[in-house]
Amino acid sequence: MARRGYDRRRGCAEDGCREVRITNYGYKRDYADAVRREKAQPPWKCLRHSRPEQVLGVHNLEVISECGRVQSEGYGTPRWEGAYHGGWATGPGFMAWAEDFPLGTRLIITARIELPAGYTPPEPPPSPQAPAPEQRFATDVVDLDR
């Protein structure tokens, strides 16, 4: 019979957000190390709250980001710097080989939402009042002998 492991459940630190991240650790030692490590870090936030400028919505209809530049590396073979592995980059609807472009070429990705004609977006909800620091950074007691 396989071991079940230890699940670490973390909720987004933003008030009112119900996003949850669940990580499974195979050993109690790994779970305890993760809890200890996370106490020294700021509270976890989901992508919607940690990088809101990258999330498309009715109030943010376009996202433009520079993903990399063509650079020469190693044996002189052109490569995309940044997150791309090797000499090619791909995404929804495009493929690009670095060797097809001169050095210094920038790869810029644009995503745009087009709303139906006549649609007026609702007003954004008001920002909730931030909790006191002692509430946000309070440490929970973790029972490892569950």
Sequence spans of domains, the chain? 6-50, 56-112
The burial class, CB within 10 Å (0-12 / 13-18 / 19+), for 107 is: buried
Predicted TM-score (pTM) of this structure: 0.56
Alpha-carbon distance of 62 to 113, in angstroms, equals 6
For the record, the structure tokens of 137 come out as 């950074």
Residue 35 clears pLDDT 80, i.e. is over it: yes
Q: What is the pLDDT of residue 130?
A: 74
Q: What is the pLDDT of residue 76?
A: 65
pLDDT in tens, 38-94: 988 999 999 889 988 888 877 788 888 777 777 776 666 777 776 555 677 777 777
